[in-house]
Amino acid sequence: MKRILLPILFLLGFSVSAQKNLSPRKLYPGLFEQVQLEGIYPDGKSFPDALPKKSPVEIMKDYQLQKNAKDFNLKHFVEENFLAPESHNVNYVSDIPAGIEKHLDTLWTVLKRNPDVTGGYQTSLIPLPNAYIVPGGRFREIYYWDSYFTMLGLKEAGKKVLIKNMVDNFAWLIRNYGFIPNGNRTYYLTRSQPPFFSLMVQLLAEGDPSVKISDYSEVLEKEYAFWMKGTENLQKGKAINHVVKLNDGTVLNRYYDAGAVPREESYAEDLRSVQKTRQAKPDFYRNVRSAAESGWDFSTRWFADGKTFGQIITTDLIPVDLNGLLYNLESVIAIAYKQKGDAAKAKLFSAKAIKRKQAILKYCWNPSLKFFTDYNWKKQQQSKQLTLAATSSLFFKIASNAQAAAVIEKIQSDFLKKGGLLTTLNKSGEQWDNPNAWAPLQWISIAGLRNYGNNKLADTISDRWIDLNVKVFKETGKLMEKYDASAPKSLGGGGEYLLQDGFGWTNGVLLKLLSVRAK
CATH at 390: 1.50.10.10
Residue 8, pLDDT > 80, answer no
Residue 381, pLDDT > 90, answer yes
Per-residue HEC secondary structure of 263-330 comes to CHHHHHHHHHHHHHCCCCHHHHHHHHHHHHHHCCCCCHHHECCCCCHHHECHHHEECHHHHHHHHHHH
pLDDT in tens, 389-446: 999 999 999 999 999 999 999 999 999 999 999 999 999 999 999 999 999 999 999 9
446 found inside a domain: yes
* Same-domain pairing of 142 and 46: no
What letters, b where the CB count within 10 A reaches 16 and e where it falls short, cover 144-155? bbbbbbbbbbbb
94, 102 contact by CB (below 8 A): no
Among the candidates 37, 52, 83, a domain finishes at 83
Confidence of residue 137 (pLDDT cuts 50, 70, 90): confident
56 found inside a domain: yes
* Same-domain pairing of 38 and 150: no
- Identity at 517, one-letter amino acid code: R
Among the candidates 83, 113, 130, a domain finishes at 83
* Same-domain pairing of 414 and 465: yes
471 found inside a domain: yes
Neighbouring residues of 15: CB distance < 8 A, sequence distance ≥ 6: none
* Reported pTM: 0.94
| C-alpha 135, offset from chain centre | 11
518 found inside a domain: yes
308 found inside a domain: no
Question: pLDDT value at position 89?
Answer: 54
226 found inside a domain: no
479, 466 contact by CB (below 8 A): no
* Same-domain pairing of 179 and 128: yes
Structural domain count of the chain: 2
Question: pLDDT value at position 174?
Answer: 98
The residues annotated with a catalytic role in the active site are 297, 481
Judged by average pLDDT, the poorest of 135-139, 268-272, 412-416 is 135-139
69 lies in which domain range? 20-83
Among the candidates 63, 83, 103, a domain finishes at 83
* Same-domain pairing of 28 and 124: no
pLDDT in tens, 19-43: 679 999 999 999 999 999 999 999 9
Question: pLDDT value at position 119?
Answer: 75
* Same-domain pairing of 391 and 479: yes
Question: pLDDT value at position 92?
Answer: 61
Question: pLDDT value at position 491?
Answer: 67
Question: pLDDT value at position 13?
Answer: 41
Confidence of residue 205 (pLDDT cuts 50, 70, 90): very high
The separation between the first and the last C-alpha atoms of the chain, rounded to the nearest angstrom, is: 76
* Same-domain pairing of 411 and 513: yes
Confidence of residue 4 (pLDDT cuts 50, 70, 90): very low
* Same-domain pairing of 390 and 510: yes
Give me the chain's average pLDDT, please.
93
* Same-domain pairing of 75 and 110: no
* Same-domain pairing of 421 and 451: yes
* Same-domain pairing of 43 and 98: no
Q: Stretch 349-369: mean pLDDT, rounded?
A: 98
* Same-domain pairing of 108 and 127: yes
Radius of gyration of the chain (CA): 23
Residue 103, pLDDT > 90, answer no
251 found inside a domain: no
Neighbouring residues of 49: CB distance < 8 A, sequence distance ≥ 6: 85, 123, 124, 125, 140, 185
293 found inside a domain: no
Closest listed residue to residue 254, CA positions, set 432, 400, 383, 441: 383
Three-state SS for 490? coil
Question: pLDDT value at position 494?
Answer: 63
